Amino acid sequence: EPEVTQTPSHQVTQMGQEVILRCVPISNHLYFYWYRQILGQKVEFLVSFYNNEISEKSEIFDDQFSVERPDGSNFTLKIRSTKLEDSAMYFCASSWVTARGALDTEAFFGQGTRLTVV
Amino acid sequence: GIQVEQSPPDLILQEGANSTLRCNFSDSVNNLQWFHQNPWGQLINLFYIPSGTKQNGRLSATTVATERYSLLYISSSQTTDSGVYFCAVEKNSGYSTLTFGKGTMLLVSP
């Protein structure tokens, strides 16, 4: 069964360092997302990406964050200068279509990358 | 934005018991999904159910979109059902982002 894969599963980084989280969405999906979950809290939306550009982003997704689809398969989230409060589980997700008149917008999530900033 | 409320926040069951988890949402939605977050943090898709009823083994879900709620039923619970159950909705706004509830933490004891 197709699945979203994320690497690494766990990353520890020093405050102020740049990190890149990687994701391979399901191959025929068109929409890609990043969500994060601070320990013990709910999952929060960060950004959605379609047709090589950001389609929506939340207030959390400030200038420290960027996303990129560098090739036909990978989707990355970069945090330019990590802060302690960036420690969280980061989930990548993908879906086939959007809500605009679509019949099926089910999103599938990767297993997550646990980022620890020290 | 849309509000998603899940109840109960915590639930402890004996193995073999049945349970019902509820998700209320504040606006019309295009998509509703139930997830199980296992102890390793993975989000497992349980149901994509913007309306109607679906069943998958011991789990079933019903969404009544006109009344803005969804129910997840777990029958004959097993210890492997333990974890956090999240409801997430996609507002009918043209965007496909999910808003999650705070979850129900379920502990099934042997």
In chain A, which among 76-105 make CB contacts under 8 A with chain B?
A: 89, 91, 93, 95, 97-100, 102, 104-105
Distance from CA of B96 to the nearest CA of A (A): 5
Q: Average pLDDT for residues B18-33, to the nearest whole number?
A: 94
- Kindly report which listed range (A93-97, B17-21, B54-58, B98-102) carries the lowest average pLDDT score: A93-97
Q: What is the pLDDT of residue B29?
A: 87
pLDDT in tens, A84-114: 999 999 999 998 875 555 656 789 999 999 9
**Which of the pair, B40 or B8, is modelled with greater confidence?**
B8
Beta bridge partners of B68: none
Beta strands in B1-110 (DSSP E): 4-7, 10-14, 19-25, 29-37, 43-48, 52-56, 59-64, 69-74, 83-91, 98-100, 104-109
* Residue of chain A whose alpha carbon sits nearest to that of B36: A109
Instruction: Give the Cβ contact number of residue A45 at 10 Å.
Output: 22
**Which of the pair, A100 or B100, is modelled with greater confidence?**
B100
